[in-house]
Structure 1
Amino acid sequence: MEQLRQFEIKKLGYTDIDSNNIEEGKLASYHDFIKIIFLKAGGSIQVDFKAYHLEQDALFFVQGGQWYQFDEALCNGAMLFYNKDFYCVEMHDAEVACDGILFHNIYEIPVVYLDAAQSALMQGIFTEIKTEMQQEESGMEEMLRILLKQIIIRSTRLWKQAHQVASLENRQEVEFARRFSQLVEAHYITRHSVADYAALLNMTPKALQKRIAKYSKDTPNDIIKDRIILEAKRLLAHTELSVKEVGYKLGYDDPAYFIRLFTNHVEVSPQHFRKSYQSSGV
């Protein structure tokens, strides 16, 4: 069951997830929305070429533009989808804003695993959102935003606990890493070097590398290149752009250099990656 509420340009939607309503064409219609996906244990989802087979209930936080696909036979749960206009009025709360920890995280695609009590609480909020959307009460928009924010706040707390972000120093390092991640997301097409981002952060490349190393096994250069390669994979898998055009779109005027970069990171050429992905039927 899908519901969509629109308040001028602000949109929030809800849909149940089960084998009857998971269709690739339908999933494409949610592509540009921010998504919070609740899946029960036993489910299987792929987000940007990484597969998750769930042994416990979980929440996934998927940005607009990220590619995702469910295993239709296995998945049960629900999904909230919304645009930035609906929630990003809350920009003063940096950790839980639409570009907060759960959505700009350089370490992994944010997934929050839930124990039985946490899952029951989250499912209760999802149900409350679903019920609220069926009403015609005054204050609906604000009530929905409050409920959505509850999910994000509670999930942020759980993510921080799971990643041992308790001390002030650790929180500061996570916030710094989030800022770096935001800059990479904004500029990866035009800025390809660590020095570029060090300049944006008013520090030396060496200092940036040392700061990121406190909380990540990846170097700043790894993070930058991984973001570029991820976008290249998306374009190769989901568009008909030629390899040369993909390279140009990502800021590389020399197609041979782009092919070498991709091949070194993925261990197959762009052409081979495209063929393998398409033949897999994913």
Structure 2
Amino acid sequence: MDYSVTTRLKGVVAMTSSFHADPVLRRDRSLYKFIWVQRGTLTLVIDHVETQLAAGEIVSLTPLHRIEFGESGAEYLALLFNSDFYCIYGHDDEVSCNGLLFNGSSDVMRLKLTAGQSEALHEITDRIAAEYAVADNLREEMLCILLKRFIITCTRMARERFAAGAGSERQFDIVRRYYVLVDRYFREKKQVQEYALLLHRSPKTLSNLFAVYGLPSPLQVIRDRTQAEARRLLLYTSKSAKEVAGILGFEDAASFSRFFKGATGKSISEYRSRK
């Protein structure tokens, strides 16, 4: 099962059961990704961290996440798209997934589907597959609508995971917006107080909200996002520790080295030796 459409404006939407073996899609660093395991157990290495996904599990990944596929006989489905096809930032009021399904942390969203949820997603992916066979000028718009349905369905599942029902949507949205702001400003803003001001809430209110939903503390979210970016820069670029420290907003390489050693338990040179 391999379907892909590229629009005149370089938008890409694809659905495939062989993402691991598609060199064109694998090289594309602009893609948001849903990877849904249908049968067996799939081994994914996400940002150099091995993750086992069982049948009925789905994970959502941003273009920032580097992934590799381990040896596996699992069957899976990958739904892929870029911002030129559907921009989650520009349409945040439509799908409310930014910061929830998609954020730059290495602590990615992972959902275990019920039978009913799996059936709902299968209905959408069947419609997507059927739409690829229709080669008219309405296909792009219909694929966009179906992609939105898929994202919204997963967003609802994620809210259910955190027990964020209709009565607490506004409160949970503060948490989601916090993740969005951290993704945007983590290089220059390192204190919870700075984000609390942007959200017009107190740091204590934010801490209480995160505790209610069983999430890491607001300060830990900042540290995790910084650590994830540090890992990527150290593993996937040739920048020096001093250059990485400057990019991430540290005063000097020494303070960055202390942060990294405290977060990972490894020195920068030890970590880079994993390349």
TM-score by length of 2: 0.87
Per-residue deviation at 1:226? 0.7
Structure 1 match to 2:238: 240
**Aligned pair partner of 1:264 in 262, 265, 272:** 262
User: 2: distance between equivalents of 1:224 and 1:140?
Assistant: 41
Q: Distance in 2 between matches of 1:92 and 1:22?
A: 29
Distance 2:25 2:8 in 1: 23
Contact 1:91 1:97 in 2 (8 A): no
Aligned equivalents of 1:35, 1:85: Cα separation in 2: 14
Deviation readout 1:117-138 (Å, 9 max, x if unpaired) = 5334423422332332233123
Alignment of 1:126-137 (within 5 A): 126-137=125-136
Question: For residues 71-103 of structure 1, what are the alpha-carbon distances to aligned partners after superposition, in whole Å with 9 as ceiling and x for unaligned?
Answer: 243342222221223223895663724626322
TM-score under structure 1 length normalisation: 0.85
Closer/same/farther in 2, CA of residues 106 and 238 from structure 1, 3 Å limit: closer
Secondary structure in 1 matching 2:54: coil
One-letter amino acid of the counterpart of residue 220, structure 2: D
Q: Is the contact made by 2:37 and 2:54 (CA closer than 8 Å) also made in structure 1? A: no
Q: Measure the CA separation in 2 of the matches of 1:52 and 1:145.
A: 30
Taking structure 1 as reference, are residues 54 and 212 closer, same or farther at Cα in structure 2, changes over 3 Å only? closer
- 1:234, distance to aligned residue in structure 2 (A): 0.9
Render the CA deviation track for 1:233-262: whole Å, top value 9, x for unaligned.
Answer: 111111121222211111123100000011
Could you tell me the percent identity over the aligned residues? 29
Question: How far apart, CA to CA, are the structure 2 residues paired with 1:204 and 1:246?
Answer: 31
Partner of 1:70: 69
Structure 1 gap ranges (5+): none
Does 2:173 match 1:161? no
CA distance in 2, matches of 1:90, 1:236: 27
SS at match of 1:38: strand
User: What amino acid maps onto 1:153 in structure 2?
Assistant: I
The alignment status of 1:17 with 2:17, answered yes or no, reads: yes
Q: Pick closer, same or farther for the CA change 1:24–1:265 going to 2, 3 Å.
A: farther
d(CA) in 2 for partners of 1:72 and 1:45? 9
Report the secondary structure of 2:163's partner residue: coil
Q: Which residue of 2 aligns with 1:6?
A: 6
Structure 2 unaligned residues grouped into runs of 5+: none
How far does the alpha carbon of each residue in 1:27-81 deviate from its partner, in whole angstroms, 9 at most, with x for none? Answer: 5423211122222241122323443322322222111211122224334222222
In 2, Cα distance between equivalents of 1:9 and 1:44: 34
Shift of 1:217: 4.2
* Counterpart-to-counterpart distance in 2, 1:199 and 1:10: 38
Question: Matches of 1:261 and 1:24 in 2, distance apart?
Answer: 37
* Cα separation, 1, equivalents of 2:127 and 2:189: 44
CA RMSD of aligned residues (A): 2.7
- Against the structure 1 CA distance between its residues 110 and 215, is the aligned structure 2 distance closer, same or farther, given a 3 Å change threshold? same
Identify the residue that residue 188 of structure 1 maps to in structure 2: 186
Partners of 2:97 and 2:152 within 8 A in 1 = no
8 Å Cα contact 2:128-2:143 kept in structure 1: yes
Partner of 1:144: 143
The letter for the 2-side match of 1:210 is: N
Q: Write the mapping of 1:1-282 to structure 2, written as runs, cut at 5 A.
A: 2-9=2-9, 11-18=11-18, 22-23=20-21, 26=24, 28-40=26-38, 41-88=40-87, 91=90, 94=93, 96-97=95-96, 99=98, 101-104=100-103, 108-169=107-168, 171-275=169-273, 277-278=274-275
